[in-house]
Amino acid sequence: MQFPEAKGVSHFIPDLKAGMLYTYNDGPTPDGVKKSFFAASLDKIQSSNETAVSRIVVKQTGETKDIGGFKCEKIIASTSKGDTEMWVTKDFKPEFYKYEAFFKSNWEMMALREERIKGLPLSSVTKDAAGNVLNAYEFVSITSTDISETEFSVPAAYSQY
């Protein structure tokens, strides 16, 4: 994830085998501050009260559009708290939903898990029941590549917080 105001990139590394989520920011750190990462056990991760829902209804619309050269299908996820309209490409077929347990407040992942949809959301808008936008994004660029286990880890310069 990258946010201009954060002056860096936030990394989230889910470890399915260990049941851990590691996160760090690679932006600049103030003088004298050690680079650190956070480790959270899967059983300690809880959804926020704002997005906690008991039931999610998923509708695959069959409607398609091109986003950045990728064919995407419109999928709508509805809960008692609001709706998410997302555009999912199956050109990349990661089992993205497997990571839902690490991001329990993420409606896109909940919807994909509910229907076992293989694919990746390239655009999404989540609104609460009143129609207020809670979250919105659209991809800028994407690549898919195999990486080794050693590349998919927190850099050695970081210490656990």
What pLDDT was estimated at residue 86? 95
* Per-residue pLDDT reduced to its tens digit, 89-107: 988 766 666 776 666 667 7
- Most confidently modeled of 60-74, 89-103, 130-144, 146-160? 60-74
The reported pLDDT for the residue numbered 95 is 66
- 77 burial level (CB within 10 Å; 0-12, 13-18, 19+): buried
Return the structure tokens found at 11: 């990394």
Q: Amino acid identity of 66?
A: D
Q: Please report the pLDDT score of residue 100 as a whole number.
A: 67
- CA of residue 97 relative to chain centroid, distance: 9
Q: State what percent of residues in the chain have pLDDT above 90.
A: 22
DSSP 26-39: -S---TTPPPEEEE
pLDDT in tens, 22-69: 888 877 777 888 888 888 887 776 665 444 455 789 999 999 999 988
Q: What is the reported pLDDT for 93? A: 64
The domain segmentation of the chain, as residue ranges, is 2-46+145-160, 57-138
Residue 16 has pLDDT above 70, yes or no: yes
Q: Assess whether pLDDT exceeds 80 at residue 20.
A: yes
